[in-house]
Amino acid sequence: MARGKFALGCDVGATKVSVSVGVEPGVILDRITDRTYRMRNPKDLVSELRRMIADITEKNNLDISDCMGLGVAFAGFTDSRNGVIVASPNLEGWDNTPLKQILQDTLGVAVRVENDANVGAYGEYRHGGSVAGTDFLYVTLSTGIGGGLIIGGVPYEGDNGVAGEIGHTVVIPDGPKCGCGKQGCLEAVASGLAIERIANERMKRERTSLNDRAAEGKIDARTVFEEARNGDPLSSEIVDTACRYLGLSIANAVMLLSLSSVVIGGGMAREGEYLRRKVEHYMRKGIAGGPNENAKLHISKKPLEVVDIGALQLVFDSSGGKGGKD
């Protein structure tokens, strides 16, 4: 027997895509993931989403006719009013893609499309439990770096719809090229992909425990963090440099907006207190006293789920079943 009305959520990141299902706000009933590299263009993504939605609804004995809608969190610059992907720094071929219309025509359900960090910020505010205030910055730290703002308890996107994009603020003039086309963005020097790139470049010139790990498989950001914890000098330097740029960028956001809280989510947030302490050290240096000195830095309690939770909440909001703030 079918369960009745339900919501679908989708998180499209640079390296993975997830589809989640929920029947009540703040709770993921089930979630499945796949790798984004299988989906090289919008057509491939839509085809894969159809398969994933069919799989998760069948697995949970749900009828698509009972679906209240699909909330999509996309890693890129989005026109949320029209459901268009304007551009994506880490996914090629998506410029000016009317994803909302494509998915509605294909799936036959109502669709909302938003930037993934904005959705993560909203999910964090409504159901994350990491912060108590109504004004904060959510930073997603993963393959790339995104940011979403909650001001007065509601997402703030600004006039152009991209407020909070801390990952694409320039920290090194004429620095490494970023996927967005600029040089020296925070994402180009402190993201998971940047840490991986820097480590692999340095390994060619310097002997380190990372060379031994390379024999076991790919060196990625998580490997670099592991070796930094183990005392490897090169890994420690790479991690510290990334955290310095991130911490100072967060400090600038706190000073600009007088925020009381910042939350870090995303895959790299799994580094937990080790990451938080390092980033906070440089954040404190950038704030250096005054009315903002009590700003708090938090690691999301649900770093891998909060975007999915936010995507589902978009559907519940549109359907009138908003629920309360956890």
CATH of the domain at 220: 3.30.420.40
Q: Which residue has the tokens 């967060």?
A: 250
Banded pLDDT at 15 (limits 50, 70, 90)? confident
Domain check: are 201 and 149 in the same one? yes
The Cα 84–Cα 112 span in angstroms is 10
Range of the domain at 312: 6-120+305-318
Q: If you average pLDDT over each of 81-90, 236-245, 283-292, 316-325, which comes out highest?
A: 236-245
Q: What percent of the chain has pLDDT over 90?
A: 78
**Higher pLDDT, residue 270 or 288:** 270
- The CA-based angle 192-193-194, given to 5 degrees, is 90
For the stretch 298-315, pLDDT in tens is 999 999 999 999 999 999
Domain check: are 141 and 158 in the same one? yes
- pLDDT at site 3: 59
Token representation of residue 209: 């425990």
Banded pLDDT at 2 (limits 50, 70, 90)? very low
Token representation of residue 133: 């205030």
**Residue-averaged pLDDT of the chain:** 92
Tally of domains in the chain: 2
Residue 202 scores a pLDDT above 90: yes
Q: Which residue has the tokens 């490997």?
A: 223
**Higher pLDDT, residue 271 or 206:** 271
Can you give the pTM of this predicted structure? 0.92
Domain check: are 107 and 171 in the same one? no
Domain check: are 200 and 230 in the same one? yes
- pLDDT at site 1: 35
For the stretch 44-101, pLDDT in tens is 888 999 999 999 999 999 999 999 999 999 999 999 999 999 999 988 889 999 999 9
Report the length, in residues, of the chain: 326
Domain check: are 116 and 223 in the same one? no
- The CA-based angle 148-195-181, given to 5 degrees, is 60
- Tell me, yes or no, whether 76 lies in a domain: yes
Domain check: are 151 and 293 in the same one? yes
Alpha helices in the chain (DSSP H): 42-59, 99-107, 116-123, 186-190, 192-203, 209-214, 221-229, 233-257, 272-287, 306-318
Nearest Cα to Cα of residue 5 among 309, 317, 316: 316
Token representation of residue 217: 């498989």
Domain check: are 185 and 139 in the same one? yes
